[in-house]
Amino acid sequence: MFVSMTAALLIQAWLGDWVWTVALTLVVGAFASLWVSRLIAGPFYRIERELQNILSGAVSEHPIHVRPGDPLGHLTELINQLVERSKKELSNR
């Protein structure tokens, strides 16, 4: 959002016409929103897929991995800890 606002101000100063400013701001905003949603959607998809595998009984030996710096990295660590704890409890029974 701030990127779009900054781009709008720069475009307004450069072009001086409000129609082009609005059009280019919408384009910059669209690309920014696609980029941010891609950062969030990928890890959510991986987490969902692994949780479905775990619930279906196909517990994998490998933890859930996401790219370094992904915003949901902390969530995947918590899920991995939960899976490990569940495996230990099942093996103790």
> pLDDT digit string (tens) for 31-88?
888 888 887 888 888 888 888 877 787 766 778 877 888 778 888 888 888 888 877 8
Q: In the chain, where are the structural domains located?
A: 2-92
Tell me, yes or no, if the pTM score tops 0.85: no
What confidence score (pLDDT) does residue 26 get?
A: 85
User: Which residues lie closer than 8 Å to 1 by C-beta, 6 or more apart?
Assistant: 29, 32
Phi and psi angles of residue 68, each rounded to the nearest 5 degrees, phi first: -60, 135
- CA 73 to CA 68: how far, in whole Å? 8
Q: What is the 3-state secondary structure (H, E, C) of 36-49?
A: HHHHHHHHHHHHHH
